[in-house]
Amino acid sequence: MCGIFGYTGKRNSVETVLKGLKKLEYRGYDSAGIAGLHTGEIVSCKEVGKIAALEKLVHEEKIELDLAIAQTRWATHGKPSVVNAHPHLDQGRTLALVHNGIIENHDSLRISLEKQGIHFVSETDTEVIAQLLGVMYQGDFLATLREAIPLLKGAFALAIIHKDYPGQIFAIAHESPLVIGIGHGEAFVSSDSNAFAAHTREVVFLANSEIAVIKSDSLQIFDLMGEIDKETHQLTEEIQEISKGDYEHYTLKEIFEQPRVIRQALLSRFLEEYGTATFEELNLDVNSLLSVQRILILACGTSLHSGLIGASLLEDQARILTYTDISSEFRYKNPIVPPDTLVIAISQSGETADTIAAVKEVKAKGAKVLAICNVYGSTLTREADSTLYLRAGPEIGVCSTKAYTSQVIVLALFSLMMARMRHMNKYEGQEFLNALKALPDVVQAVLDKAPEIEKIAKKYAHYENFFFIGRRYMYPSSLEGALKLKEISYINANGYAAGEMKHGPIALINADCPTVALGANSDTLDKLESNLREVAARDGKIIAIIKESDRGLEKIANDVITIPDTIDELATVPVTVVTQLLAYYIAIERGADIDQPRNLAKSVTVE
Ligand code: M6R
């Protein structure tokens, strides 16, 4: 959360930084600010709202800067306001800094600084760093930074400028990502390399407690002991043009991209003849895969839901004991990770702080980690022993759509490969592959029904409470359907295993609380039907999503949306596309901000 960007070089610093910042807007968008040096003084400009608002103000005020740092904020300490927006300055206006992360000991530091006569202007944890550095500075800023880092507890990626060091940006990373881009006579620093990838492909990733001294023509890296040599990396993935095309929102575009995304995720990853899957980038050897006794899947949010599907697939097909855990809970458990456990960490962004922390915990316990991730070079991919990429292309909408689908496809292929190494025969493998290969057309058929789904969405958009229920593979799909609806339309929506309704939640059912019944698990359809009869008996309205050739629910549902037939194990893909469209059209009807819903951020880089 929060995106930081800095630039020094021959370009117009203000425009370059604003452009870079816009590429980081997915990380937070409640306020933004920029600072730099001009004629030897620190100049800063901040505004509440999206970056466009800051851009307008910067132009109105004709801000000129020799070099610049900037931040787009997702508020943690202190509400979104101009005062709380970054950059933050020290009392003497000698330095300005932008921050991504959380300083956990900010209270005690603030108290001690106040005792030294410092007057704070904001409610943020970040201002504590600026004031601390201002107080500690005695003429050697690098030495100040090295002394200050051990005093800060928590996560911090910082870009800092100082009056006494014109032409230099100081950057520090600690449990929060920061990458430096080295150009010809220019340099960039950013939370995400995509923000400057169009200008340079040569990058340095900062590790914990490292300090970079960035000038337009040189880069030095220090750790707490002294200067260090640091490897540079080349960004290898293609720069993808990010635009909405003809779509009104990125979210809608990303929903409609899913047939292509599935093809891309499958491309050259299966061997038809042997009915199995293969991953070029998988660098775990066959013996270690064969020795896996259990699999632990760690993830958050939407990635957790695809993980639940993956766990069912791995148990069903490969007969490997697999369990899924919420990353943020897992890390505080002192978890048992027996030998021969393979950990799969799933994350679209690869920057989710909870998942990265959980991965560090299992690595400390000796487990091997396989990441499933969309973003090349992200922190998770650098922590993991091996990574399977989603190949979904940049996902800009804060609400994750196409990444879920790619995650399910990659998990399905991985499960097939593990199953074929164990119990599954070639013909079963080929049958599963055929179902996978048919998915792009199945999803396209669902997308073609968008006008029908939009009509149903309009009919239900005024309700304030929803249930999403399903059984087996439709249970994680229910969680995902409910998450989509609540995050983009701000409707209270709960996902439940259908059999759980009678154990409490059914108390909420009445004519004002519709239920979306995910009925595309043919194996358990009759059981779901019984649960739905209980809903109908209490006047609850029902929207049923079923396979074309399945019958039963149409008798009790108020509305039915059909998907083309597919196997139960993969039905989550087309069903989730239906629930994505439902959420999208309901949110449109309610006038919500689709691509950047309130209170959310795309990359959750704080705990
Ligand atoms: O980047 P990740 O997949 O690790 O992100 C995990 C969640 O923060 C994310 O899926 C979140 O729940 C989305 N907003 C859901 O649409």
Nearest CA to ligand 1 atom 12: 301
Cβ of 604 below 6 Å from ligand 1: yes
Residue 138 scores a pLDDT above 80: yes
Q: Clarify whether 547 is annotated catalytic.
A: no
Cβ of 481 below 6 Å from ligand 1: no
Cβ of 531 below 6 Å from ligand 1: no
Residue 424 scores a pLDDT above 80: yes
pLDDT on residue 28: 83
CA 604 to ligand 1: nearest atom: 8
Best of 346, 404, 405, 604 for a ligand 1 pocket test (most atoms within 8 Å of beta carbon): 604
pLDDT on residue 245: 83
Separation of CA 120 and ligand 1 centre (Å)? 34
Cβ of 306 below 6 Å from ligand 1: no
- Please tell me whether residue 224 adopts helix, strand or coil conformation: coil
pLDDT on residue 74: 87
Q: How far is Cα 131 from Cα 80, in angstroms, rounded to an integer?
A: 20
Evaluate whether 396 touches 411 at the Cβ level (below 8 Å): no
CA 352 to ligand 1: nearest atom: 4
Instruction: Using alpha carbons, list the distances in angstroms from residue 466 to 68, 340, 479, 512.
Output: 47, 42, 12, 9
pLDDT on residue 602: 80
pLDDT on residue 606: 75
- Please tell me whether residue 525 adopts helix, strand or coil conformation: helix
Residue 273 scores a pLDDT above 80: yes
Phi/psi at 442 (5° precision)? -60, -45
Q: What is the pLDDT of residues 486-514, one digit of tens each?
A: 999 999 999 999 999 889 999 999 999 99
* Spatial strand order in the sheet of 559-563: 492-497, 465-470, 515-519, 542-547, 559-563
Domain ranges of the chain: 3-234, 244-443, 449-593
CA 603 to ligand 1: nearest atom: 1
- Percentage of the chain beyond pLDDT 70 is 99
What is Dmax (Cα atoms) for the chain? Answer: 79
CATH code for residues 449-593: 3.40.50.10490
pLDDT on residue 26: 83
Q: What is the pLDDT of residues 73-97, one digit of tens each?
A: 988 888 999 999 999 999 999 999 9
pLDDT on residue 599: 83
Q: In the predicted model, what is the mean pLDDT of residues 296-306?
A: 98
Nearest CA to ligand 1 atom 9: 301
- Residue 314 has which token pair? 């791995």
Residue 482 scores a pLDDT above 80: yes
Separation of CA 404 and ligand 1 centre (Å)? 9
User: Which residues have C-beta within 8 Å of that of residue 58, sequence separation ≥ 6?
Assistant: 14, 18, 34, 45
Kindly report the average pLDDT of the chain as a whole number: 94
CA 399 to ligand 1: nearest atom: 16
Q: In the predicted model, what is the mean pLDDT of residues 115-137?
A: 96
Element (H or E) spanning 566, and its range? none
Cβ of 352 below 6 Å from ligand 1: yes
Residue 516 scores a pLDDT above 80: yes
Residue 42 scores a pLDDT above 70: yes
Cβ of 17 below 6 Å from ligand 1: no
Q: Clarify whether 602 is annotated catalytic.
A: yes
pLDDT on residue 239: 59
pLDDT on residue 25: 87
Q: What is the pLDDT of residues 435-448, one digit of tens each?
A: 999 999 999 999 99
Cβ of 576 below 6 Å from ligand 1: no
Round to the nearest angstrom and report the end-to-end CA distance of the chain: 10
Cβ of 298 below 6 Å from ligand 1: no
Separation of CA 588 and ligand 1 centre (Å)? 21
Phi/psi at 7 (5° precision)? -150, 140
pLDDT on residue 221: 97
- Residue 82 has which token pair? 């101009």
Query: Which position among 2, 300, 373, 399 bears the catalytic label?
Result: 2
Cβ of 407 below 6 Å from ligand 1: no
Q: In the predicted model, what is the mean pLDDT of residues 314-331?
A: 95
Q: Do domains 3-234 and 244-443 have the same CATH topology?
A: no
Best of 306, 326, 400, 408 for a ligand 1 pocket test (most atoms within 8 Å of beta carbon): 400
CA 355 to ligand 1: nearest atom: 4
Confidence band of 238 (pLDDT split at 50, 70, 90) = low
Q: What is the pLDDT of residues 519-556, one digit of tens each?
A: 999 999 999 999 999 999 999 999 999 999 998 888 89
Cβ of 355 below 6 Å from ligand 1: yes
CA 398 to ligand 1: nearest atom: 14
Of 19-33, 148-162, 450-464, which range is least confident?
Answer: 19-33
- Residue 593 has which token pair? 């901000």
Q: Pick the closest to residue 69 from 161, 193, 179 (CA basis).
A: 161
- Residue 522 has which token pair? 């043919």
Separation of CA 488 and ligand 1 centre (Å)? 13
Separation of CA 242 and ligand 1 centre (Å)? 20
Evaluate whether 575 touches 453 at the Cβ level (below 8 Å): no
Cβ of 303 below 6 Å from ligand 1: yes
Cβ of 1 below 6 Å from ligand 1: no
Assigned architecture for domain 3-234: 4-Layer Sandwich (3.60)
Q: What is the pLDDT of residues 568-594, one digit of tens each?
A: 999 999 999 999 999 999 999 999 999
Nearest CA to ligand 1 atom 7: 301
Confidence band of 240 (pLDDT split at 50, 70, 90) = low
* CATH of range 244-443; options 3.40.50.10490, 3.40.980.10, 3.30.565.10, 1.10.510.10: 3.40.50.10490
Q: Is 300 exposed, middle or buried (0-12, 13-18, 19+ CB in 10 A)?
A: buried
- Residue 64 has which token pair? 């000129």
Residue 291 scores a pLDDT above 90: yes
Q: Is 11 exposed, middle or buried (0-12, 13-18, 19+ CB in 10 A)?
A: middle
Q: How many other CB atoms are found less than 10 A from the CB of residue 565?
A: 16
Q: In the predicted model, what is the mean pLDDT of residues 211-226?
A: 96
Cβ of 379 below 6 Å from ligand 1: no
